[in-house]
Structure 1
Amino acid sequence: MLKTELVALIEKKRSELIKAANANGLTSSVAIRCSQELDQLINEYNRQYIKKVPSTSY
């Protein structure tokens, strides 16, 4: 999936989540499902496009 496509899906899902939360409440099953789907998309974006920062031990 192209980066632009994934970003577009994230924005669409974010909009769906806002609408679901406004209509049904943040804890509704619809809002929770949208939130989980948004999380999956963001995680996928992070896996594909965010460079890993090496952790430093102190």
Structure 2
Amino acid sequence: MSEIEDLLKDVEILREKLEYLINTKNGNLINPEVVAASKVLNAALNRYNEFLEEKIKTRKNE
């Protein structure tokens, strides 16, 4: 699997985990577990965006 596919897979897994936690916490978005899962997902999305930005820069320089 390519790096981009790995990142997308991680994002999807983390998104599903966050959705599950929100449902099990009755929609309580300030529950510490929900907040922690949201932060982890956010970090994964940031890594994905950084990867894409680097690819775009690389292609512009070719």
Which residue type is aligned with residue 33 of structure 1? A
Q: Partner residue of 1:43?
A: 46
What does 1:1-58 align with in structure 2 at a 5 Å threshold? 2-24=3-25, 25-50=28-53, 51=56
| Alignment length (residue pairs) | 52
Q: Determine the C-alpha separation between the residues in 2 that align with 1:21 and 1:27.
A: 10
Offset of 1:26 from its aligned partner? 1.4
Q: Pairwise CA RMSD of aligned residues?
A: 1.6
Q: Runs of 5+ in structure 2 lacking a partner?
A: 58-62
Q: Runs of 5+ in structure 1 lacking a partner?
A: 53-58
Greater fraction of residues in helix: 2
Q: Which portions of structure 1, spanning 4 or more consecutive aligned residues, are displaced by more than 4 angstroms?
A: none
Deviations 1:16-50 (A, max 9, x none): 00010111121111110010000000000000113
**2:34 aligns to what SS in structure 1?**
helix
Identity of aligned residues (%): 23
